[in-house]
């Protein structure tokens, strides 16, 4: 079978289509014919050698996929041949609190990932793909969607009428917009592009702020909320945005710390966290049970992920380049098999 590998050293130009032996499912495992793979920012930084410069190579990148079960190992009862499933991001994190061993079992580094024609995953680490979604749409769910679900629903505990701020218009933030709308919240979206903000309004954004034109976007959040601030900020910006998020959120509000798009280190005053009684919750994607809960919500609501562009398997490196350009709105997907 064919699989992309980061070979020798890091960089999009080091992605090579390699031949690997067809994997075989062992006890309790599924063999999947991968249909589609979606990219996350982590996959880009993994390929670039930024996410984990010590990652052993060769590595098959990516963690998101939708695939068809083509064989099952002994003892599998969760799925049958022909089922359409998505693997979970952390294969040993089925439920419960995060633990070291669970978080070490992530696809696309340190474990080989999904950008391959065939993959084997434990049946316990797969979930049924929602029936109304295409393969490309279903492939967007394991990382970005689940992160947004856990940010808005599990940790954010968002209620109808509350105000949620989503930073940027990438995969996580647009899912956060969609889930927050599902629970009846008002969503403020920031972006570097007025064109993307117009599209965010079409998706139901209540307020929009261009963070290039208005670098003090936290003031605009206050203005839009009558001085109160937002109930929840979906923090994907990191060092460059966190201090502003501390002032965009209301007294007693929540910041869910997800990403570091603008870097991880910055001088920071912690005083607003205590004086303004802010809850800061770090999070890493989520477990299988929350994935299943999310899929029930996706199925019941008919929610459709925002797919920016689909690249053929042969052009997967161009999908990474497209993501690196920052032009995307929502998810970038690679179609692996017809």
Ligand X SMILES: NC(=O)c1ccc[n+]([C@@H]2O[C@H](COP(=O)([O-])OP(=O)(O)OC[C@H]3O[C@@H](n4cnc5c(N)ncnc54)[C@H](OP(=O)(O)O)[C@@H]3O)[C@@H](O)[C@H]2O)c1
Structure tokens belonging to residue 256: 């869910």
Nearest 10 degrees: CA dihedral of 48, 54, 56, 60?
-30
Site for ligand X in 198-217 (CB under 6 A): 211
Pick the stretch among 59-67, 119-127, 220-228, 254-262 that binds ligand X (CB under 6 A): 254-262
Using rule CB under 6 A, residue 46 touches ligand X: no
Long-range CB contacts (within 8 A, 24+) of 244-249: 244/216, 244/217, 244/218, 245/165, 245/167, 245/218, 246/272, 246/273, 246/276, 246/278, 247/218, 247/219, 247/222, 247/272, 248/165, 248/217, 248/218, 248/221, 248/222, 249/165, 249/276, 249/278
Among 55, 94, 105, 262, binds ligand X (CB under 6 A): 262
Give the nearest distance from C-beta 14 to ligand X in angstroms.
20
**Site size for ligand X (CB under 6 A):** 33
Among 28, 58, 98, 240, binds ligand X (CB under 6 A): 240
* Binding mask of the shown chain, residues 266 to 305, with x at each position contacting ligand X by CB under 6 A: -----------------xxx--------------------
Give the nearest distance from C-beta 317 to ligand X in angstroms.
16
Helix 288-301 vs helix 171-182: crossing angle, to nearest 10: 60
Facing residues of 72 across strands?
30
DSSP letters for 54-88? T--SSB------EEEEEEE-TT--S--TT-EEEE-
Using rule CB under 6 A, residue 154 touches ligand X: no
Among 84, 196, 220, 288, binds ligand X (CB under 6 A): 196
Using rule CB under 6 A, residue 40 touches ligand X: yes
Among 7, 24, 27, 192, binds ligand X (CB under 6 A): 192
Facing residues of 32 across strands?
69, 119
**Spatial CB neighbours of 31, under 8 Å, sequence gap ≥ 6:** 23, 24, 25, 69, 70, 71, 72, 73, 118, 119, 120
- Return the residue nearest ligand X (CB atom): 170
Among 126, 172, 188, 248, binds ligand X (CB under 6 A): 172
Using rule CB under 6 A, residue 258 touches ligand X: yes
Among 167, 182, 221, 232, binds ligand X (CB under 6 A): 167
Q: Report how far apart the first and last C-alpha atoms of the chain are (Å, whole number).
A: 15
Proportion of the chain in helix, strand, coil states, percent, rounded to 5? 30, 25, 40
Q: Which of 237, 235, 244, 232 is nearest to 264 (CA)?
A: 237
Give the nearest distance from C-beta 315 to ligand X in angstroms.
18
Using rule CB under 6 A, residue 169 touches ligand X: yes
Using rule CB under 6 A, residue 144 touches ligand X: yes
Using rule CB under 6 A, residue 165 touches ligand X: no
Among 87, 108, 109, 168, binds ligand X (CB under 6 A): 168
Pick the stretch among 68-76, 90-98, 185-193, 242-250 that binds ligand X (CB under 6 A): 185-193
Structure tokens belonging to residue 170: 């990438």
Using rule CB under 6 A, residue 114 touches ligand X: no
Which residues sit at the interface with ligand X, rule CB under 6 A? 40-42, 143-144, 147, 167-173, 190-193, 196, 211, 236-237, 240-241, 258-262, 283-285, 323, 326
């Amino acid at each position: 079978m064919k699989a992309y590998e980061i070979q020798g050293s890091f960089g999009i130009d080091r992605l090579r289509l390699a031949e690997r032996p067809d994997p075989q499912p062992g006890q309790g495992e599924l063999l999947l014919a991968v249909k589609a793979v979606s990219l996350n920012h982590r996959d880009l930084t993994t390929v670039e050698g930024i996410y984990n410069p010590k990652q052993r190579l060769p590595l098959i990148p990516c963690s998101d996929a939708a695939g068809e079960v083509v064989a099952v190992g002994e003892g599998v009862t969760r799925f049958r041949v022909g089922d359409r499933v998505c693997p979970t991001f952390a294969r040993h994190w089925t439920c419960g609190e995060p633990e070291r061993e669970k978080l070490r079992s992530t696809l696309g580094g340190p474990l080989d990932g999904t950008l391959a024609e065939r993959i084997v995953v434990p049946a316990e680490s797969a979930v049924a793909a929602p029936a109304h979604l295409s393969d490309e749409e279903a492939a967007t769910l394991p990382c970005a969607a689940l992160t947004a679900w856990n940010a808005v629903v599990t940790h954010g505990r968002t209620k109808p009428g509350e105000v949620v701020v989503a930073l940027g218009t990438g995969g996580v933030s647009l899912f956060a917009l969609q889930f927050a709308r599902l629970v009846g919240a008002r969503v403020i979206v920031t972006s570097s592009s007025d064109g993307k903000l117009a599209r965010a309004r079409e998706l139901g954004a209540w307020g929009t702020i261009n963070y290039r034109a208005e670098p003090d976007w936290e003031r605009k959040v206050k203005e839009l909320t009558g001085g109160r601030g937002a109930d929840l900020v979906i923090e994907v910006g990191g060092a460059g945005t966190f201090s502003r998020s501390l002032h965009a959120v209301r007294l007693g509000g929540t910041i869910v710390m997800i990403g570091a798009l603008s870097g991880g280190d910055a001088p920071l005053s912690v005083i607003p966290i205590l004086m303004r009684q802010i809850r800061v919750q770090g999070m890493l994607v989520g477990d299988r049970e929350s994935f299943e809960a999310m899929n029930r919500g996706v199925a019941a609501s008919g929610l459709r992920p925002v797919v920016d562009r689909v690249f053929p398997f042969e052009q997967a490196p161009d999908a990474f380049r497209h993501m690196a350009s920052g032009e995307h709105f929502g998810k970038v997907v690679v179609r692996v098999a017809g």
